[in-house]
Amino acid sequence: VRQSGRYTVLTGRNGPQSFPGTQHLPYHRFQTSAKLNELVNFYLSDIGEGIREVQIKEWYVKVGDHVKQFDALCEVQSDKASVTITSRYDGTIKKLCYDVDDIAQTGKVLVEIETSGGKTLEERSDDGQSSDNSSSSDDESSSMQEIRGHKVLATPAVRKMAKENKIKLSDVQGSGKEGRVLKEDILRHLGGERKVTPEIVPPPPTVQTQAPPRPQISPLTPPTALPQEPVVVPPKIQTPPVIGKDVTEPIRGIRRAMVKTMTAAQAIPPFGYYDEIDMTALVKFRRDMKVKALERGVKFSYMPVFIKAVSMALRHFPILNSSVDAKCENITYKASHNIGLAMDTKDGLLVPNIKNVQALTIFEIASELNRLQVLGDAGKLGTEELTGGTFSLSNIGSIGGTYARPVILPPEVAIGALGRIQTLPRFDENGSVVARHIMAVSWSADHRVIEGATMARFSNMWKAYLENPTSMILDLK
């Protein structure tokens, strides 16, 4: 069952269910009527996407705990997404078969539960049809919580998360179907957001606004107060980790996914193209927009403009928004501009993407980017966010540097890396030296299907939008 990009997996006592396909998780009929106090093996089922093993991130239960159907048992991390495993039974946990950080194989026993004869789930029959991955699945996994006379829809995992963080579900704006509260909503709430203010909600798709943080106003110093010494805050010094001896450990989690993706990427002959963008006008534009966006509760960096300009240029160069199959025999021109952005998260490099950028305003892109960053910071980016990208940008300049050699993410065919915006001397039209804001861009394109000239023309168009941001208005849809 998928909840907004993350999967909640219902697992059976009769062994793993087969969930073929990528996005759809069909149900299989199997008998689950547990007898009183029967010891049940709870298998880790196939969670789709060809995932064969996962790493245990966190147990939500311990031996001796009593669990109910749909209670979250643990969080696992595949090389694609974070997944919550929920119980199918009422019963007592007798054994956890793995420790945190262990690799669990699909098809193997995950937990042993002594059932207490509770009612088990009514299974849907497997008639060969995939269940809709969002709406109906949400229905199955969501449960009601009665709060102040009205019902709030949320999954047990979400309720648990709310409880742990001492949040009333009724205080959280649900963004799921029929107002269901999703984990992202809790995270947003924790991040200090207020409920969505209707008058500033942009049109769909699913973008939300938040109220701007209140400025901290310090009380006025009474006139009689003695002049105070300025408080000197010592700079934070990060202590480097001390490794006293060689340490070897298995490569796991996101890094394991990076091994796979980057190894596959090595098979692509890249064409590199580099240019510099005069960002002076955009720096001013961003300064103004940053204030306006903050009034609507959204942090506004340069990325939303970079991303929108990419999409606008892609309309003229659809081949750059295509994918090729493994043997490079077929090329698919993608209708949606799902722009991926390399994100430096605490779990490692992840590339979530913003869907349908061609249909979003710059402000909507900024809102979505904010949401992805909150999820990234919390280690909660899911399959929905991490799959389906069609073109990528890597803003390494937010950390530093001028040039990079970005690696194409197969099956995409192009990627751009952005350097740090620097103030540098340049000549103006009169030949005088002036200070300008300059940013380098480094493109890599799959040279099997992309000509260098195409990449250069695309880059020129993208550059023209950024160097004259108001010109974007003419072509904005």
Residues interacting with ligand CAO, by CB under 6 A?
Answer: 301-303, 341-344, 349, 369, 373, 394-399, 418, 420-421, 439
Neighbouring C-alpha atoms within 13 Å toward the C-beta of 174: 22
Name which of 124 and 420 has its Cβ closer to ligand CAO: 420
**Least distance (Å) from ligand CAO to the CB of residue 301?**
3
**Least distance (Å) from ligand CAO to the CB of residue 395?**
4
Name which of 160 and 437 has its Cβ closer to ligand CAO: 437
**Least distance (Å) from ligand CAO to the CB of residue 54?**
23
Name which of 276 and 344 has its Cβ closer to ligand CAO: 344
**Least distance (Å) from ligand CAO to the CB of residue 279?**
8
- The active-site residue out of 24, 28, 437, 447 is 447
Point out the residue whose Cβ comes nearest to ligand CAO: 397
**Least distance (Å) from ligand CAO to the CB of residue 457?**
23
Active site residue 447: yes
Name which of 48 and 340 has its Cβ closer to ligand CAO: 340
Name which of 320 and 369 has its Cβ closer to ligand CAO: 369
**Least distance (Å) from ligand CAO to the CB of residue 439?**
6
Just list the catalytic residues. 447
